[in-house]
Amino acid sequence: MGPSETRDELQGLLVVMASLSHGLEQVLGRGAETVTFRAGKTVGLKSGVTQQESDILIALGKVGEALKAHGIEWPFEAWKPASEKSFIYDKDGKQAVKLVFRNCMVRCALFRYGHEQKQSLCMMNHGLFCGYVQKITGKRAELDILHAGENACLKELLLQG
């Protein structure tokens, strides 16, 4: 099977997942986001990652490497307005950094299925990401969507602990 066939198969599976998450949202309402976030986070926390890193930017590089090592292509990068000096800032006593996620298979699947972003399937991805971040940094992680768009999403990662 070639790369385009594998990608088409994965895209089809993700559309099925979008359909399932849509059904879950209809049955559970807002509770669906909590369920899928927790499921994703559990997977991230149970990963075999043993690397520890306290510097957020270096840790994010390690998160990207760990995701890729487990077959998850979800490229992201730290972002800041040109007027800011640092990517890392304090928000309500937590360390924070803004992240841009450009090529997201979940976003593509949601568009293909015709379902909106910022719901349970996105939350599953967020949980997975936060689980990896927590495993590598040792700090509790939250990921909030600041902007969800067609070409990229801007998110804010908050670390506590």
| Residue 43: predicted pLDDT | 87
Do 56 and 140 form a contact (C-beta atoms < 8 A)?
no
| Residue 33: predicted pLDDT | 73
| Residue 22: predicted pLDDT | 59
**What is the three-class DSSP state of 69?**
helix
| Residue 103: predicted pLDDT | 76
| Residue 89: predicted pLDDT | 96
Q: Provide the H-helix boundaries in 3-119.
A: 3-28, 31-45, 56-69, 105-113
| Residue 74: predicted pLDDT | 84
| Residue 135: predicted pLDDT | 95
Q: Cα separation of 51 and 136, whole Å?
A: 6
Q: Cα separation of 159 and 130, whole Å?
A: 9
| Residue 63: predicted pLDDT | 94
| Residue 35: predicted pLDDT | 77
pTM of the predicted protein model: 0.78
| Residue 120: predicted pLDDT | 61
List the pLDDT tens digit at each of the 161 positions of the chain.
Answer: 665 666 566 555 555 565 565 565 666 566 777 777 788 898 889 988 888 999 999 999 999 999 888 888 888 999 999 999 999 999 999 999 999 988 776 666 655 655 565 566 677 788 889 999 999 999 999 999 898 777 888 999 999 98
Q: Cα separation of 22 and 160, whole Å?
A: 31
Residue from 92, 101, 104 nearest 158 by CA: 92
| Residue 56: predicted pLDDT | 95
143-152 per-residue burial string, b: 16 or more CB within 10 A, e: under 16: beeeebeeeb
